[in-house]
Structure 1
């Protein structure tokens, strides 16, 4: 009888262990509703389910045991939905843009550069030199690139901010602006790399700005920490670099 009681206790413990494992697996395999911005190759491609930052985020979430569900939205709407709990996470944010959100370790770094035509003869070594030239920058650049940039372009003979990289490229290649300020990879991934006469021209990029870390914002700290752990694993396995290289090859992007 003592043996039967012992076996019953062991069976109950085993059953409890299995139930706990199943419960933990169910919790860990959450569906994560991930807000993704509008198309911005190479980081986000049309449809929102591919692109460098999207692929890295999806691979990391899956490695963490979660099932991502992509929702493509304009940034302002995505932030509002994240704030209200209609989505669980959002790509890719600067810490502090939304209160009460857990920000992951940097998923990647944007590379803002001052880009000029090689034939222009323009050499840039410091931000203050931008005051001498016509500058076309991305939207909200004056708010995001610091006081030095804001003071320089305030004296520029022609400064504009544009949301469309295609227009920036056209302005540069057709000499309607002297300097384009924006992410170097977005610039090179954009198909507009020729002037009105269909001529391509070499460019030079000047690293006047520090690289900008971009993070995934989560409503849940648990999901955020899961993501951080999996991101380290993705990098350690070599898969992170493989994904980056695949997009460098696809868009013929500069490595450094």
Structure 2
């Protein structure tokens, strides 16, 4: 019993003296509305950083602003960083991958064979899509009749459901879950595969911190802890729905 008390006391002392780090994570981080990905990222970062002796302080922020906040040292770590690596920042190995697709109502009769074809339509996408999906997409949407990026995935899906846009771009799993939440059937929509899968990493402005985080992330990948956490979060979310 004394040993247990001593160990608890030691762990509590380590937590009190853990180095604080500011971690940028999705702005849409309300506990009641968090999706699988947000919950997964938050739990993963909490666990990895605690094992490394850090005490994370999560800072909800738009994805489009997180890279700049990192460059200004308003954050120590930013989650879900994809697209072209930025000079002066350091990155871990990828921990997350999205299958971004173009979605339309089943009644849509347009032909989409390439990203260039999107320039003819009113469309919307997830926040920071210009950066994540690359320069070709960014150039195309600049000439589209209308284009907007939306933070909330639920609101993004609602734009298509209410026919306020002709097309939207979103991860396949995320879209299907949000569409079903609206009471919709997947037979009511169609999708087009125009993009390669997008990989995302954690980014830091300190090389040493990023290297330590990367090593710990590799350990979790190698021993299966990362896959188990992803499955655990998915089961928790399914039980709440």
Q: CA deviation at 1:134?
A: 3.1
Task: Give the Cα separation in 1 of the matches to 2:141 and 2:65.
Answer: 30
1:211 aligns with 2:200: no
Between stretches 144-153 and 98-107, larger displacement belongs to 144-153
1:181 aligns with 2:165: no
Candidates 60, 66, 71, aligned match of 2:53: 66
* Compared CA separation, residues 124 and 74, structure 1 to 2 (3 A): same
CA contact (8 A) 1:140 1:161 kept: no
Task: Give the Cα separation in 2 of the matches to 1:112 and 1:95.
Answer: 13
Helix, strand or coil: the match of 1:59?
Answer: helix
Structure-2-length-normalised TM-score? 0.70
Q: CA deviation at 1:240?
A: 0.9
* Compared CA separation, residues 220 and 59, structure 1 to 2 (3 A): same
Between stretches 172-181 and 84-93, larger displacement belongs to 84-93
Q: CA deviation at 1:88?
A: 2.5
Moved over 6 A (4+): none
* Compared CA separation, residues 192 and 85, structure 1 to 2 (3 A): same
Cα RMSD (Å)? 3.7
Task: Give the Cα separation in 2 of the matches to 1:53 and 1:148.
Answer: 28
Higher Cα radius of gyration: 1
Q: Where does the alignment leave 5 or more consecutive residues of structure 1 unmatched?
A: 1-24
Structure-1-length-normalised TM-score? 0.66
Candidates 213, 216, 226, aligned match of 1:230: 216
Residue equivalent to 1:34? 23
CA contact (8 A) 1:103 1:215 kept: yes
Task: Give the Cα separation in 2 of the matches to 1:193 and 1:78.
Answer: 29
Task: Give the Cα separation in 2 of the matches to 1:187 and 1:79.
Answer: 25
Helix, strand or coil: the match of 2:190?
Answer: strand
Q: CA deviation at 1:151?
A: 5.4
1:239 aligns with 2:225: yes
Task: Give the Cα separation in 1 of the matches to 2:87 and 2:141.
Answer: 31
Q: CA deviation at 1:180?
A: 0.8
CA contact (8 A) 1:34 1:68 kept: no
CA contact (8 A) 1:41 1:186 kept: no
